Chain A
């Protein structure tokens, strides 16, 4: 479905610098030599911190940006040369942009898209009905888009991207800014789309929990480079992706050691607050809470998800043994002075 070979993209930017505010021309390498393939039916999470190069990759996959070098094929097409043909076969959602018509009712945007994508009316109606049902759009189909909440709008965006029955759905930060419930609902819908319809999914995110529930495979990118590619479970083993249960106890307590699945305990305020890092594949937050409650009365709890920044840090720390380009990892920065 997707074949990217040594894909790179750099931007020339001018920056004012120094005491005399001279304009310096620099080249920012947003994506450097990225290679990966995605098979039909896969669900791939493309994850990395802000500025890692995720959106730039997506823009190259969808033909909006021409790569500086390298080769990319999506659905067997060259995205930038065959942009329009490709656009008919893929769906794209940009989390921070809207593809809906701001001033018009949601339903009208959908009708317009039917004409733009030239979808047969019956196929369109069937898909729309399915999305309306699964995503619960009924209540706001006639509302102008500008009056929708972010969660409602995002459901509309995803529907808009699916009405022409794309083989591949690409989502750039689809859950950004959504509340927990909306995120959950969207993830469930996408998971269903992937398993039932066999629609290939590629989604970018900087939140690990998006991937956790949805993508069997993840690609970690930082500073334009792929640091890891594989199933989440493997990565978890490799870098130890622990969640952390933070418990506030009624009174000072000795460190709660020996709980199953817990790999690290840190205490604060005389043991009144304890941070239990646990491996999500060995225990659950609920089981842990029960276990803690047996030892000491609990006042409050919260769960902290691992941050992508931690993952990236550990991937760098993991050293060159499994890295694809050993020795090039510690390139001083991603800004190279243009000649």
Chain B
């Protein structure tokens, strides 16, 4: 029993490591990506700073200027951990029929993909989160947490954000079993999700009713939550609980949908 559990953990841990390694092989893309994140961070800081100047200082949506700037840099860093815009691999594998390989292994396909995505996110944390945040810290005023637990909670929240995002993308990717091609669905999702998660502007800037409505969606849990945990905006416990609930919900739905996909639907190609 115990050796079984150990083997099980060993298996998914290995897959996660392979995910890390896979993405680590693309060095140039990583450097280019981190640089792009910083450039877009500069643009966003410029725009949001103009909002504050126009308003004559103070706070907008519950954030002062320093917190907003910090928000931008954390967001730019988290972006590639959460990966709103990538993650079309599973859809493509379903569309081309390569998914038969995933279904022929002695593993839970969802768990295996999650493990791999966690490895990828681990690499992204080192190579893509650190540079923009470091840049922001050094060059701009930065909202430092006031106790040492905050960064730890931030990392936990970032991991949950990644899991929630994975759960949503996994569900959408599975629609390829029925639609044959879910790139359209994913395309719409990619545009909508990052905005609703608070990437372009903090959700605090949204009207009150929209903010309330958004808490009934998983989107804030994908980006806004870890940032809010870091800048200590709102209750960290409430934010984390919201994330956990969505992570569990989306993963379970994914598991159910996968089961019925395999049962009822087709796997393409010879």
Contact = CB atoms under 8 A, between A and B. Distances in A.
Given A65-B267, A66-B262, A115-B11, A101 B18 contact: yes
Size category of the B interface is 20 to 34
A59 B18 contact: no
B211 interface: no
B270 A115 contact: no
Nearest to B97: A97
A36 interface: no
A116 B11 contact: yes
A55 B21 contact: no
A204 B98 CA distance: 18
A87 interface: yes
B100 A101 contact: no
A94 interface: yes
Contacts of A55: 269-270
Contacts of B7: 115, 118
A104 B107 CA distance: 20
A112 interface: yes
A101 B22 contact: yes
Contacts of B267: 59, 64-65
B14 interface: yes
Interface in A65-108: 65-66, 80, 83-85, 87-88, 92, 94, 96-99, 101, 103-104, 108
Contacts of A59: 100, 267
Interface string A262-291: 000000000000000000000000000000
B236 to A, nearest CB: 35
A230 B112 CA distance: 41
A108 B18 contact: yes
A54 B100 CA distance: 14
B265 to A, nearest CB: 9
Interface in B69-128: 97-98, 100-101, 103-108, 112
B15 interface: yes
Contacts of B112: 116
Given A97-B97, A118-B7, A66 B263 contact: yes
Nearest to B4: A118
Contacts of B26: 103
Contacts of A118: 7, 11, 106
A144 interface: yes
Nearest to B8: A118
Contacts of B107: 84, 116
Contacts of B10: 115
Contacts of B15: 112, 115-116
Contact of A97 (B21, B25, B98, B108): B98
B266 interface: yes
B25 A103 contact: yes
Contacts of A85: 106
B33 to A, nearest CB: 16
A51 B104 CA distance: 21
Given A64-B267, A66-B263, A112 B104 contact: no
A234 B262 CA distance: 39
Interface in B239-270: 262-263, 266-267, 269-270
A50 B11 CA distance: 37
Contacts of B266: 11, 65
Nearest to A9: B266
A210 interface: no
Contacts of A65: 262, 266-267
Nearest to A144: B25
A172 B97 CA distance: 13
Contacts of A173: 270
Interface in A277-326: none
A112 B101 contact: no
Interface in A6-38: 11
Contacts of B106: 84-85, 87-88, 116-118
A217 B267 CA distance: 29
Interface in A110-155: 111-112, 115-118, 144
Interface string A150-171: 0000000000000000000000
Contact of B21 (A63, A80, A104, A117): A104
B18 A112 contact: yes
B257 to A, nearest CB: 16
A108 B20 CA distance: 13
A11 B14 CA distance: 37
Contacts of A116: 11, 14-15, 105-107, 112
B156 to A, nearest CB: 26
B32 to A, nearest CB: 17
Nearest to B14: A115
A194 interface: no
Given A87-B105, A99-B101, A118-B11, 13 more contacts: A54-B270, A64-B267, A65-B266, A97-B98, A97-B100, A97-B101, A101-B18, A104-B18, A104-B22, A108-B21, A115-B14, A116-B15, A116-B107
Interface of B: 7, 10-11, 14-15, 18, 21-22, 25-26, 97-98, 100-101, 103-108, 112, 262-263, 266-267, 269-270
17 contacts: A11-B266, A54-B270, A55-B270, A63-B104, A64-B103, A64-B104, A66-B263, A84-B107, A94-B104, A97-B97, A98-B98, A103-B21, A104-B25, A115-B7, A116-B106, A118-B7, A118-B11
